[in-house]
Amino acid sequence: MQGKLFARLVTFGKAYGSHGAVILGTKNLTEFLINFSRSFIYTTALPDATIFRNVELVKKNDITRRQFDLQENLKYFRKNFKHEGLISEVNSPIQILQLGDVKLTAKIANRLQENGLAVKPIFSPTVQKGKERLRMCFHSFNTKDEINLLVKLLGE
């Protein structure tokens, strides 16, 4: 099956705990993307340190374990945090908590950030008014203590 693929996209976000991505494909695909992909042409390249880090992450060949750890973190969060506003798929590394109130969303986001948790509030016009939410990104390297703190603060 792998020999029939047109391209493969590899991301370095949630499971790897880095950022950036690569597209793997033929020389013709590479040339086409370099010459005709406006979003690629007008994007700033990743810093060398990030590229080197991503190469080292791939060399470790532990992506299966990292993916497992990420899914375990998601299961742990979903098991310990029950809220009707949680609107994400259960296995998505991006968990969305829809609160529907600007002031409440801002207040909770600020409290989480003050406690060292990088949770982002999402407001209108990015989402409809009345559908304000928190965007929580989970990674393979998150600890149970971090998830417990998140659950605790969300529950207050």
Residues 6+ apart with CB under 8 A from 42: none
Task: Give the phi and the psi of residue 10 in degrees, each rounded to 5.
Answer: -120, 120
State the CATH number of the domain containing residue 136. Answer: 3.90.1150.10
In this structure, the answer to whether residues 76 and 56 fall within a common structural domain is no
Looking at the structure, tell me whether residues 114 and 42 fall in a common domain. Answer: no
Same-domain check for residues 81 and 131: yes
Residues 43 and 12 in one domain: yes
Q: Are strands 7-11 and 133-137 parallel, antiparallel or unpaired?
A: unpaired
**Where does a domain end: 40, 60, 80?**
60
Query: Domain check: are 83 and 19 in the same one?
Result: no
* pLDDT value, residue 28: 92
pLDDT at 107: 97
For residue 74, give the nearest of 135, 142, 122, 120 by alpha carbon. 142
Q: Which residue among 21, 38, 60 closes a domain?
A: 60
What is the Cα–Cα distance from 35 to 66, expressed in whole angstroms?
34
What is the pLDDT at residue 1?
47
Rg of the chain over all Cα atoms, to the nearest angstrom: 19
Asked whether the CA dihedral 41, 43, 44, 46 is positive or negative, the reply is negative
Task: Per residue of the chain (156 residues), give pLDDT as tens.
Answer: 456 778 999 999 888 888 898 889 999 998 998 888 887 777 788 899 999 999 998 999 898 999 999 999 999 999 999 999 999 999 999 999 999 999 999 999 999 999 999 999 999 999 999 999 999 999 999 999 999 999 999 998
Give how many domains the chain has, as a whole number.
Answer: 2
Please tell me whether residues 46 and 119 are part of one structural domain: no
Answer for the pair 95, 88: CB distance below 8 angstroms, yes or no.
Answer: yes
Domain limits at 16? 2-60
Q: Long-range pairs for 7-13 at CB < 8 Å and ≥24 separation?
A: 10/58, 12/54, 12/57, 13/93, 13/139
| pLDDT given for residue 148 in this prediction | 98
Residues 54 and 83 in one domain: no
Decide if 135 contacts 94 (C-beta within 8 A).
yes
> In angstroms, rounded to a whole number, what is the distance separating the alpha carbons of residues 69 and 19?
18
pLDDT at res. 43: 79
> Is residue 89 domain-shared with residue 136, that is, in the same domain?
yes
Which residue, 60, 81, 106, sits at the end of a domain?
60
Same domain? 56 vs 72: no
